[in-house]
Amino acid sequence: HGSLLEPVVNLLQSFHAEVQYQAMEFIKILMSKDWNDENTAAIIAQLLINCLKDSLNQDKTDIDDDDEEEEVEEDDHEDNNKLIDSLKGGPMPIFIQQAAICKCIRLLTNQRDRFLRLNIVHLLLCVMGNESYPESQRQASLTLHFFVEKYSSVYDVVFEALGEQLFDMFYRDPDGFYSEMNSIQADVCRSNRVNMSSD
């Protein structure tokens, strides 16, 4: 069952907005009350959470890989290296998916409690600190703001995690928050210890 749903979630890696939109709409249908399949909803929610976790591990992996590549590259491959570097300038599919998942979770209004139990607050804060892809930061901030507005417990936890000054920046302008953060503040987001999960 999960193997059939995973390709749907993987469509969120698409560079094409229309493909992402259709994937989100399909996910919304599968997790809707009209579909009424608890097992399907649970599997999709876990897939979305797992993809977010994987994407958060990607940044460090890429840095390690880059270091290894530099050791084996020869001078006569300079042109190829320039091409590779230019391609690396664009967003990786996993970060595109990361941003899309944050947006998708915001749209799944009937699944808020489920995602809270899966510790989504911690993950959204981590994504807000992903300086490699600003759109991920933006979507995570907007989605977290949605939860903060809806749940007083989330408000309190996020306030404590960010501190008064950083929280005020976030709460005042979730759409532009990422552009105001410095590296230290981004690290505060990434290193948060929030745990709101429950069985």
3 state SS of 155:
helix
195 domain residue, yes or no:
no
Note the pLDDT of residue 1. 61
Find out whether 178 and 102 touch, Cβ atoms under 8 Å.
no
Per-state percent for the chain, helix, strand, coil, to nearest 5: 80, 0, 20
Beta carbons within 8 Å of 127's beta carbon, 6+ residues apart: 52, 55, 56, 98, 102, 136, 137, 139, 140
Rounded to an integer, what distance in angstroms lies between the CA atom of residue 199 and that of residue 182?
36
* pLDDT above 90: residue 9: yes
199 domain residue, yes or no:
no
Note the pLDDT of residue 104. 97
Beta carbons within 8 Å of 17's beta carbon, 6+ residues apart: none
Mean of all residue pLDDT scores within the chain: 86
* pLDDT above 80: residue 69: no
* pLDDT above 50: residue 98: yes
Q: Specify the pTM.
A: 0.84
Range of the structural domain that residue 51 is part of: 2-190
* pLDDT above 90: residue 129: yes
pLDDT band of 87, cuts 50, 70, 90: very low
Note the pLDDT of residue 33. 77
Considering its fold, how many domains does the chain have in total? Answer: 1
Nearest residue to 196 (alpha-carbon basis) of 118, 124, 141, 142: 118
Region of 78 on the Ramachandran plot (φ > 0 left; ψ -120 to 50 alpha; else beta): alpha
List the end-to-end C-alpha distance of the chain, in Å, as a whole number.
22
Mean pLDDT in residue range 128-144: 97
Mean pLDDT in residue range 117-128: 98
Cα 167 to Cα 68, 94, 122, 161: the distances in Å are 38, 27, 15, 8
51 domain residue, yes or no:
yes
121 domain residue, yes or no:
yes
87 domain residue, yes or no:
yes
In percent, the amount of the chain with pLDDT more than 90 equals 73
**Count of alpha carbons within 13 Å of 36, Cβ hemisphere only?**
1
198 domain residue, yes or no:
no
pLDDT band of 113, cuts 50, 70, 90: very high
Note the pLDDT of residue 197. 79
Rounded to an integer, what distance in angstroms lies between the CA atom of residue 166 and that of residue 158?
10
63 domain residue, yes or no:
yes
129 domain residue, yes or no:
yes
